[in-house]
Structure 1
């Protein structure tokens, strides 16, 4: 369990008042997962319970003091802390809820929920069971396994009071199991089904999703039935003709080329849907349906994750593909089908030139695997969010930063601090950077130096940098008085903010 001397050291380092501000910011950035008023009430109840249940000297500490203490702990240590008593479990759980909700690895096993953690002592992405945080977990995934672990969740469903999202990946979902997940589906707001084998009856389960706000289905069979009309086989998608009263977002990426006439009926029945995500191929095949649609979306997301096409297909050649999509997108924007565009490119071979994208109407977010050195750095004048999965070798990053004049959010994979410096120095509107690194070394960041660089930029917004836990903790323990919140640069745990990157 937790070391008492270790805790005493942390108490001495927690006399600042920045916790309240950080907690408020965390609440405002937690997306679909939280309601601020409810979360404040939960915090207040936790504090009341501390006084009522534990007449120990440390419990009159302000809740913000505990926030400061927890900033020095790995997830494993925080979990140990939460196991000391029920009152501390609530306080640790609230911190966990706002600082680890964006972890994409909360897996269901036969005996509970597991995730990974890193620490300043050398642990890197090690597995841990987090049973003490059951009531604070907001998203779960069941991946490439039998259905047995879901029976565990079903039998403990009351423990997961904060659960909002469930994902199924690479498994078979068949009729006998549907009854098991009905109560689970009724509880959540976000459902993701990726690369799963389904039968047509699965879509009947959507009627149990009373709170469904986001529904994502990738590389699955979306056909419910097939009918023969005059000797011609017709595919049926009745689930797309239903109304989903709370639905805000639909992601539909079939695993094969399909024309889906029911999409028109879907948007007619669900005019409250604000965003639609699909593959470039699906968008192209259904272009006539969408151009005739009366839908007026806030956001269109295009993911260039296509199956291999024959070279003779009009959409199969990379040059033709990108040009065709850009032309179609501009037509859809002019038609009023969407207002803002998010573009995801998984394979850099799909983008022979970035010039076409620069002129696409409504483009606010660009996600690309890597920038190539032969790209011409044209002005990305309207891009507010840029994601580069695998870095940008031999690229003039200073020039790229200058071209993204409205950039507010940046995600950099396989990064070094040198990759971030040009944007810290040049991008005045930039306010969030998530820097993912596969480096196991627990190096600390000289945050005061970054802050000094930022101060030289006229009109610079405050920048929050989200980093992996091992780097955050190494910096926290080596920073002067543990201060990682300076005037223009602040460091936070990477799992406290969610970037959609694929």
Structure 2
């Protein structure tokens, strides 16, 4: 036997013909692998063959259509993005993006270079959403990024360094803008808003203390077409603004407002909102002022579908008024005070359309009351419970009791309980995996989803939420229960994606 033949036999793998090669994997397996790759890795793998090119494009559309350049999944590590890396991503996937978030702290290039690159690669495509954090914006940047501004539908400006005159010029170039959000813009007094935005339907102002109330009043009077308004954490807002809103925003459908200064005329001013014929969603605080007459007035209009109340006394009279809101689908009770109400069972019984019930910092409601509520709310699908010491954490015995209460309902709809990071961790330690599996068909405990972070609603001063993040459905290591948490991964980044998807610092935590 020749040496060559002997060598071939020595290295021959008898199982080679049965081995599965990477290219033999079906599309679902490949997409599962793509889940674990960074965006830059996806850019590289896309050019290996036509099949991977098509799969990478499909995957990007499904997962990264909303791209946050602040996330660690861009490079797979915490490091600044270079200009070349940014161009690679935008050149490869820029055509598929419809939502982009950029934080100046995440890039090596200076602000104007980053925005000019986005303008070059994404400017021709209409962006549904664009958010910029901590950017320095000057006249040159505004002028050089015309295509970007003109194609934005929704714009969020967070803690950017831009003066009123420059911001006014920028906003005037946003000809298709229908949603505008301004967060922590301490270097502007609001003069940039004192003109008409014909396409604008929604406006949100959060944690802006330097605004001139006259500028805000002028803005509301010039933009009567607004359908959604959010004023949270702004120290200039007092209850006199209710009358201005009612006089001018006749088409308003959603109002989220935290009144910092409450006058002696609070109840009279609040009642002005009853004149809004299209109002469907309302969240407000009352600082222990009487609101029973107002809630009764809302019931007479029979229009409210979502209501959030903060800092009120939960009295039998208020409970009776709430029971008359027959079209209510979402109810939020935040930082409620003890008003000698013994049970909230009647709310569950009377509001037969209620799908969501949120209780935040409500020690006036205990676990037994919540059990009664669940059993008597026929359509309830979602409970959001945050910082309620008499309800959370849920023990294994209480978990079974809650599941049994949910099963007593006629429709037997699955109920999900949404908890924040710390309380979910504690509850999960008390409930075994076997128990979760047994009752999964009727009850599950899941992470607080990002839409429930109350950034657009009303919460107390004691609640803090991260600026970016959200619930993430994919759980690669955990068992077959998709609770959004990796059991083998250390808990970090509260209200985040339950991996390390999001990057923010302490400055990105803010009170309302």
* TM-score, reference length from structure 1: 0.56
Query: Are residue 458 (structure 1) and residue 403 (structure 2) matched?
Result: no
Q: SS state of the match for residue 378, structure 1?
A: helix
Query: Are residue 323 (structure 1) and residue 267 (structure 2) matched?
Result: yes
Gaps of 5+ in 1: 1-52, 71-76, 117-125, 225-236, 309-315
What does residue 230 of structure 1 align with? none
Structure 1 residue corresponding to 2:198, chosen from 243, 249, 266: 243
Structure 2 residue corresponding to 1:411, chosen from 358, 370, 375: 358
Partner Cα separation in structure 2 for residue 207 and residue 426 of structure 1: 52
Q: How many residues in Structure 1 have an aligned counterpart in Structure 2?
A: 383
Counterparts in 2 of 1:6-85, with a 5 A limit?
55-59=23-27, 78=36, 83=41, 85=45
Partner Cα separation in structure 2 for residue 357 and residue 115 of structure 1: 48
Counterparts in 2 of 1:253-402, with a 5 A limit?
255-258=211-214, 260-261=217-218, 263-267=220-224, 271=225, 273-278=226-231, 285=240, 293=248, 296-297=250-251, 299-306=253-260, 316-317=262-263, 320-330=264-274, 332-333=275-276, 336=277, 338-345=278-285, 350-361=287-298, 362-369=303-310, 377-379=318-320, 380-381=322-323, 382=325, 383-388=328-333, 399-400=343-344, 402=346
Partner Cα separation in structure 2 for residue 150 and residue 479 of structure 1: 54
425-434 or 463-472: which moved more? 463-472
Contact 1:466 1:497 in 2 (8 A): no
Q: CA deviation at 1:215?
A: 1.6
What does residue 165 of structure 1 align with? 129
Q: CA deviation at 1:139?
A: 5.2
Q: CA RMSD in A?
A: 5.5
Q: CA deviation at 1:258?
A: 1.6
Partner Cα separation in structure 2 for residue 181 and residue 396 of structure 1: 59
Partner Cα separation in structure 2 for residue 152 and residue 365 of structure 1: 40
Q: CA deviation at 1:324?
A: 2.7
Contact 2:38 2:73 in 1 (8 A): no
Contact 1:137 1:163 in 2 (8 A): yes
Q: CA deviation at 1:456?
A: 0.7
Residues 214, 159 of structure 1: alpha-carbon distance in 2 compared, 3 angstrom cutoff: closer
Partner Cα separation in structure 2 for residue 139 and residue 393 of structure 1: 41
Residues 91, 426 of structure 1: alpha-carbon distance in 2 compared, 3 angstrom cutoff: farther
Residues 401, 461 of structure 1: alpha-carbon distance in 2 compared, 3 angstrom cutoff: farther
Q: SS state of the match for residue 452, structure 1?
A: helix
Q: CA deviation at 1:257?
A: 2.5
Partner Cα separation in structure 1 for residue 122 and residue 313 of structure 2: 48
Partner Cα separation in structure 1 for residue 40 and residue 432 of structure 2: 21
Partner Cα separation in structure 2 for residue 344 and residue 167 of structure 1: 26
Contact 2:190 2:212 in 1 (8 A): no
Partner Cα separation in structure 2 for residue 137 and residue 398 of structure 1: 49
Q: CA deviation at 1:323?
A: 0.7
Partner Cα separation in structure 2 for residue 129 and residue 443 of structure 1: 43
320-329 or 464-473: which moved more? 464-473
Q: CA deviation at 1:435?
A: 4.5
Partner Cα separation in structure 1 for residue 133 and residue 360 of structure 2: 23
Q: Deviations over 1:303-341 (max 9, x none)?
A: 1243x5xxxxxxx53xx25313322112x23xx4x3324
Q: RCO (CA 8 Å, sep 6+): is it higher in 1 or 2? A: 1
Partner Cα separation in structure 2 for residue 252 and residue 154 of structure 1: 26
Structure 1 residue corresponding to 2:117, chosen from 155, 166, 188: 155
Gaps of 5+ in 2: 1-20, 47-51, 459-512
